[in-house]
Structure 1
């Protein structure tokens, strides 16, 4: 072994979400106090839940996209000479009948062992990741991660998690349920139906909010990244995103109005919109608006860090 590599270990962290697969490759120094050096941060829109999650299966096309994406990740991992790989999968692979088949196929084709984690663990890791990007301070904050399959809510400050829960109401599911025709406008009746549904499903959140009275919202997920891009009026890549952004309430409300008033083509034309997110962002924005309504929170921050950074923080400890 060369002298230069003795103080370093390279680790690849893979977060296989229902919409997006993330890959983070870092070099960790064994010297205490040294920060990990990021070699690669990339993501791929896989939409694993498309056309199947509401029926409890991963459909053939997304299944193939997942294997293709993991093969690409494997190439990057080998290119960077990484020996240690941590891969986690969440909602889509938790709840689908053929999720275990995909885990097996990934292992057979890439040698990557995927760990499917429960919602509670997902919430913990998200919180840990967010804390690396945003100083939560001493007051309670409500952390929200809107995935494609599940949504995690965590009430925490920088030191303590007071309450956490994962709900299987992700953007792909909401899209399937309330937006049967994504080419068109999202009608007022659909907004009302989604809000009513959220009101019935999110009773535990309503109770927790009344109990802990969080003072701010911290959003960690692609939808919040998109809203931050819309505020800026420009689409940024994963590596261009700052760890955290203040999202002005007026900016959110304006983006929300634009998303609701347009059809699919008009949504695509909005500055800062990733095509894959255009329709998901509508149902996600309804959810964000609902949460702002029940909490009366006016301060929104975004976190570019989530599950994979939480895993990294845990490993560094």
Structure 2
């Protein structure tokens, strides 16, 4: 079965095409066929002007047409397309959704921050890690940060805050919002086993890549602090040149590190695992589960 997910974030849009194979013993394998990322940077319009400008509107349409061609070529049977913080805030998001549906047949759903947090958790990474820790998922995007806490085999909370990399670049995050996140984390992670974090999103994946750590090994809070200090001390041009970063990564990586460092500090965690997954992976997992449920219901009715 070929399924796909589209994640339209505040910084980039991603299309993930996956082949799902059900093996003996009810085991399910997810084989990534293609991942396409387009830096639409919608948040730069929305968090400043409140809407998506004609230029970026056109970029979205071109991207969705391209995605539709790829979906057809790969003969994808099931698709889930979701948009997050920038489209949540854009006053003209419904107009864009209508046009995309009309021209490409792709139905975009604008999801809430809480639902976004639960989708990240659908990857179930913490279930495969040791039971000596509690785990805090931290997913940093351009417009928001999603926090999901997993302890003693249970989902304790999922919470979204309007603290994102593009909002920080645009000076749109006030002290009150930071304090809300700080107080929430401090009060809701107390009294559990030692916390390790699980980081998702393009920025933490890039930091992990820069660190040259082996897959499966965590990054320490001190290392994240060092990278934040190091990267923020050089110009954007030098970040691109010295660290071989794309321009649309070089500007957001510093505020992303600030968010990860603060979240780790406030949860009293000193390391973060980076499993190289993102919202699109969680959406694929969620879509597969939904398709399977429908199939089972149909079989019961028949």
Q: TM-score range by the shorter chain?
A: 0.7 to 0.9
- SS of the counterpart of 2:51? coil
Gaps of 5+ in 2: 290-302
1:19 and 1:303 map into 2 onto residues whose CA distance is 20
The answer as to whether partners of 1:145 and 1:151 remain within 8 angstroms in 2 is: yes
Counterpart CA distance in 2 for 1:213 and 1:134 is: 15
Are 2:245 and 1:273 equivalent residues in the alignment? yes
Q: Residue 230 of structure 1: CA displacement?
A: 2.0
Cα deviation 1:213-238 (Å, max 9, x = unaligned): 651111101110121122139xxxxx
CA deviations on 1:230-264 (whole Å, 9 max, x unpaired) are 2139xxxxxxx96x552244432321111121122
**Do 1:223 and 1:281's aligned partners in 2 also have CA atoms closer than 8 Å?**
yes
Pick the aligned partner of 2:166 from 169, 172, 181: 172
How many Å separate the matches in 1 of 2:58 and 2:182?
A: 34
Deviation, structure 1 residue 111:
0.8
Provide the residue aligned with 2:128 in structure 1.
135
CA 157–25 in structure 1, closer or farther in 2 if over 3 Å, else same: farther
Give the alignment partner of residue 120 of structure 1, picking from 106, 114, 139: 114
Match for residue 261 of structure 1? 233
Residues 14 and 23, structure 1, Cα contact 8 Å, conserved in 2: yes
Q: Does the alignment pair 1:95 with 2:95?
A: no
For residues 151 and 141 of structure 2, the distance between their equivalents in structure 1, rounded to whole angstroms, comes to 22
Match of 2:198 in 1: 218
1:53 aligns with 2:33: no
Q: Secondary structure at the match of 2:58?
A: helix
Distance across 1 between alignment mates of 2:203 and 2:145 = 12
Aligned match of 1:301 in 273, 276, 284? 273
Distance 2:152 2:277 in 1: 15
Aligned Cα RMSD in Å? 2.6
* Secondary structure of residue in 1 paired with 2:42: coil
What residue in structure 2 maps to residue 207 of structure 1? Answer: 187
Q: Deviations over 1:91-150 (max 9, x none)?
A: 111121111111111111211011111111111011112x24883433311111111111
Would you say 1:78 and 2:58 are equivalent positions?
no
The structure 2 residue matched to 1:289, chosen from 258, 261, 271, is: 261
Match of 2:178 in 1: 198
> Contact between 1:18 and 1:148, CA under 8 Å: does it hold in 2?
yes
CA distance in 2, matches of 1:149, 1:288: 14
Q: Which runs of 5+ in 1 are unaligned?
A: 1-8, 179-192, 234-240
Aligned equivalents of 1:232 and 1:220: distance in 2?
17
The count of corresponding residues between Structure 1 and Structure 2 is 286
> Is the counterpart of residue 108 in structure 1 residue 105 in structure 2?
no
